[in-house]
């Protein structure tokens, strides 16, 4: 099954990736990263993904016209910025909107920053420094039913997660051996003010059907990047990318910290090195937002946003969507 449609004209020459979709005030807002042709050779550290700003898009209906509200944050306006404005997400609290974003500082180390706005379409004003104790990439925020907010983040290779253990930077960080437990995404409660962690980030452990943590060598199932958390019928669904094996997978848990039991593949590989996604309910249906590189002829650093309906089975598992291969 794949009836995915592109959100922007495939011939527009505008490339947006990593779509984070949120519903505010009955309208759908999409916060993507903004790909560009930077002239940097492709490599495993992701240096060719040299994004410089964020736009926000909105829709009143899933198949209606999409509005580009323009630039909402630029790397040049962020006081602590170095380069590479990667994935982001937005949360609302008490009428204010908080944009959480991945960015390298002037020492080429990834941290998570916050920018604040009075409207979901911005513009967003960045805080003078990143979140204390933050590192790596791909923030996602869950507002739980009790009003508490949780942030999830992390990404291997260019996302630098392998450089850390127990929230401390390692002098010679590396991935675990193939038979050792895989590195985990990180989870932390946010402070009441939404600008800091309220606690030390914890490991978000994904286990197999026997309750054993996934191993680093289990590259078809283990976490690599692209955290997303949503709730469905009281359960917590953590979805993520396997990176170098190009799957979007998901695991289910009973609380926002886990552990999460691996359940299957959301999306099979698409054209492009990997994919990045979000899942949201809008007007009574669930949707998977993701991207691929078909319109750019397979250039992994020039990606295009897509959306497809997401369907659940009666037991709460999710039906696998087949990624477009040409």
Separation of alpha carbons 143 and 1, rounded Å? 30
CA 3 to chain centre: 22
Tokens of 222: 């283990």
Note the pLDDT of residue 2: 63
CA angle 282, 266, 238 (to 5 degrees): 75
Note the pLDDT of residue 273: 81
Residue 251's CB is within 10 A of a number of other CB atoms, namely: 24
Separation of alpha carbons 54 and 58, rounded Å? 14
Interacting residues of 212 by C-beta distance below 8 A, sequence separation 6+: none
Residue-wise pLDDT for 17-36, tens only, equals 999 999 999 999 999 999 99
Instruction: Clarify whether 121 is annotated catalytic.
Output: no
**Coil, helix or strand at residue 306:** strand
Name the average pLDDT for the chain.
Answer: 96
CA angle 69, 134, 45 (to 5 degrees): 75
| Contact (Cβ atoms closer than 8 angstroms) between residue 149 and residue 143 | yes
Among candidates 166, 324, 140, 97, which has minimal Cα distance to 237?
140
| Contact (Cβ atoms closer than 8 angstroms) between residue 101 and residue 116 | no
Note the pLDDT of residue 160: 97
Let me know how many helices (H) and strands (E) the chain has, helices first.
0, 23
Among candidates 147, 231, 158, which has minimal Cα distance to 192?
147
Interacting residues of 57 by C-beta distance below 8 A, sequence separation 6+: 7, 16, 29, 30, 32, 66, 67, 68, 69
Instruction: Clarify whether 209 is annotated catalytic.
Output: no
Tell me phi and psi for residue 265, to 5 degrees. Answer: -100, 130
Its CATH architecture, for the domain 5-310, is 5 Propeller (2.115)
CA 120 to chain centre: 18
- Positions of the chain with pLDDT lower than 70, given as ranges: 1-2
Let me know if 208 is exposed, middle or buried by CB neighbors in 10 A (0-12, 13-18, 19+). middle
Separation of alpha carbons 153 and 228, rounded Å? 9
Pairing of strands 110-117, 125-126: antiparallel
Tokens of 270: 């698409």
Residue-wise pLDDT for 230-248, tens only, equals 999 999 999 999 999 999 9
Tell me phi and psi for residue 23, to 5 degrees. Answer: -110, 120
| Contact (Cβ atoms closer than 8 angstroms) between residue 153 and residue 227 | yes
Among candidates 281, 280, 293, which has minimal Cα distance to 323?
293
The domains of the chain are located at 5-310
Of the candidates 35, 138, 225, 292, the residue annotated as catalytic is 225
């Amino acid at each position: 099954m794949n009836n995915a449609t592109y959100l922007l004209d495939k011939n527009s020459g505008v490339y947006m990736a990593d779509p984070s979709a949120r519903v505010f005030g009955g309208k759908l807002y999409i916060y993507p990263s903004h790909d560009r042709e930077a002239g940097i050779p492709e490599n495993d550290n992701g240096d060719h993904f040299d994004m410089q700003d964020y736009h926000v898009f909105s829709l009143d209906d899933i198949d209606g016209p999409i509005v580009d509200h323009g630039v909402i944050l630029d790397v040049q306006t962020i006081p602590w910025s170095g380069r590479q404005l990667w994935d982001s997400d937005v949360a609302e609290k008490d009428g204010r909107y908080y944009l959480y974003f991945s960015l390298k500082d002037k020492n080429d180390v990834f941290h998570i920053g916050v920018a604040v706005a009075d409207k979901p379409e911005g513009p967003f004003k960045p805080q003078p420094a990143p979140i204390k104790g933050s590192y790596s990439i791909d923030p996602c925020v869950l507002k739980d039913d009790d009003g508490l907010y949780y942030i999830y983040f992390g990404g291997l290779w260019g996302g630098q997660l392998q450089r850390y253990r127990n929230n401390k930077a390692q002098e010679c960080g590396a991935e675990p051996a193939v038979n050792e437990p895989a590195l985990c995404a990180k989870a932390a409660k946010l402070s009441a003010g939404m600008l800091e962690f309220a606690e030390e980030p914890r490991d978000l452990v994904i286990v197999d059907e026997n309750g054993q943590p996934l191993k680093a060598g289990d590259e078809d199932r283990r976490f690599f990047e692209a955290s997303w958390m949503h709730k469905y019928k009281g359960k917590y669904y953590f979805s993520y990318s396997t990176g170098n094996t190009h799957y979007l997978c998901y695991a289910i848990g009973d609380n926002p910290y886990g552990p999460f039991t691996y359940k299957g593949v959301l999306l099979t590989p698409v054209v492009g090195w990997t994919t990045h996604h979000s899942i949201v309910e809008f007007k009574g249906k669930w949707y998977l937002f993701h991207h691929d590189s078909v319109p750019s002829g397979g250039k992994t650093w020039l990606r295009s946003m897509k959306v497809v309906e997401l369907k659940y089975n009666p037991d709460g598992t999710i039906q696998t969507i087949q990624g477009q291969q040409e």
